[in-house]
């Protein structure tokens, strides 16, 4: 029998049914529940019109305008919901769990759906997300100089059954001035937090989770403060890889990238490299002397990494060779 039930956030995200976000496409792009589909009751332009009407003419006039703008689209909403949830059980939320999700819930109920509506809406979800990062979990931080193939090692650990969270994958960025080259557009910081919380809540608290050593910022993304503090206080495994091997790996990865992109990224380092070293690095790039360019850049990144490590509790740092790492953590 069709019905509408109200769930709290913890029950809602674990209800196991398709979920629709009925906010505007702009709100959805800013951040949404992971896996939710967008069926906007009011699109960006319509939402703006209703907001203006509310300010100029008041609540009742805004409600009337809202219905005038969307009533003719009700059939399309029902059709799209049926495509998303063919078994006709569906979750619905808006920003505060108010009018927009109420309208959609009643519409879908009348169309024969069993509807689960989120109490408090997306706002309650964001509170849940931010609270998630305050819950301590056992971590092992995988460290090493640039080019030590830490991401590849995390992937290997995952295949061996270890718990892993890949922050750079979630952030669509490799974490340096060059980290955005060849990557998809980064999510908003808000959506990054949503995706990270989704992964975080799946972690078994009785087992450690491996995370790559990162600065507090990955491209334009900020790691949540509580989580970053936990990362900095957790044990770190620092893998030692010979510099020539690291350079070979970096050149294999970035040597294929457009020189213009490498040039632009190197220019961003001028304050850190200094005018002369930056000028030398750029000249090497222009002359296709990639190894000489990389040597200058890598010297800077190695020094930066050493400084960051010096701020850690040294008793929690284990230095290990690449060969010994594979022997120790192969299972």
Instruction: Tell me which residue of 195, 218, 203 sits closest to 32, measured CA to CA.
Output: 195
Q: What are 60's two structure tokens?
A: 């009742």
- In degrees, rounded to 5, the angle at the alpha carbon of residue 177 between the alpha carbons of residues 134 and 250 is 105
| Residue 94 appears among annotated catalytic residues | yes
Helix (H, G, I), strand (E, B) or coil at 156: helix
Beta bridge partners of 21: 38, 93
Question: What is the radius of gyration, based on Cα positions, of the chain?
Answer: 25
DSSP structure class, residue 23:
S
C-alpha–C-alpha distance, residues 24 and 42, integer Å:
6
The residue behind tokens 């569906």 is 90
C-alpha–C-alpha distance, residues 24 and 21, integer Å:
8
DSSP string for 266-291: HHTTHHHH-HHHHHHHHHHHHTT-HH
Beta bridge partners of 16: none
Q: What are 162's two structure tokens?
A: 């270890």
Sheet of 317-321, strands arranged across = 163-165, 209-212, 139-144, 236-240, 317-321
Q: Which H or E run includes 318?
A: strand 317-321
Q: How far is CA 318 from the centre of its chain?
A: 28
> E-strand spans in 179-234?
209-212, 217-218, 221-222
The residue behind tokens 């979800």 is 125
Q: C-alpha distances in angstroms, 120 versus 94, 170, 198?
A: 9, 27, 19
C-alpha–C-alpha distance, residues 152 and 329, integer Å:
14
- Catalytic residue ranges: 94
């Amino acid at each position: 029998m069709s019905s509408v039930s109200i769930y709290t956030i913890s029950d809602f995200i674990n209800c196991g049914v398709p979920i629709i976000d009925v906010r505007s496409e702009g709100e959805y792009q800013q951040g949404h529940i992971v896996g939710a589909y967008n069926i906007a009751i009011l699109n960006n332009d319509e939402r703006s019109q209703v907001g203006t009407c509310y300010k100029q003419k008041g609540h009742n006039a805004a409600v009337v305008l809202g219905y005038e703008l969307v009533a003719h689209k009700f059939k399309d909403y029902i059709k799209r919901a049926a495509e998303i949830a063919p078994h006709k059980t569906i979750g619905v939320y808006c920003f505060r769990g108010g009018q927009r999700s109420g309208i959609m819930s009643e519409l879908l109920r009348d169309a024969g759906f069993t509807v689960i509506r989120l109490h408090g809406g997306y706002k309650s979800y964001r509170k849940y997300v931010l609270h998630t990062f305050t819950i301590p979990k056992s971590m092992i931080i995988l460290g090493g100089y640039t080019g030590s193939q830490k991401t590849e090692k995390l992937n290997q650990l995952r295949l061996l059954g270890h718990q892993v969270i890949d922050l750079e994958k979630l952030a669509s960025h490799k974490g340096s001035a060059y980290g955005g080259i060849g990557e998809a557009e980064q999510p908003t910081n808000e959506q990054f937090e949503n995706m990270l919380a989704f992964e975080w809540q799946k972690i078994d608290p009785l087992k450690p989770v491996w995370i790559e050593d990162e600065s507090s910022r990955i491209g334009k993304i900020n790691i949540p403060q509580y989580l970053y503090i936990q990362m900095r206080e957790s044990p770190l495994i620092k893998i030692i890889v010979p510099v020539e091997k690291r350079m070979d790996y970096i050149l294999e990865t970035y040597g294929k990238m457009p020189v213009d992109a490498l040039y632009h990224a190197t220019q961003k380092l001028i304050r850190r490299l200094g005018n002369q070293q930056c000028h030398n690095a750029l000249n090497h790039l222009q002359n296709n002397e990639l190894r000489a360019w990389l040597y200058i850049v890598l010297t800077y990144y190695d020094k930066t990494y050493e400084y960051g490590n010096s701020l850690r509790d040294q008793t929690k740092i284990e230095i290990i060779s690449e060969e010994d790492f594979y022997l120790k953590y192969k299972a």
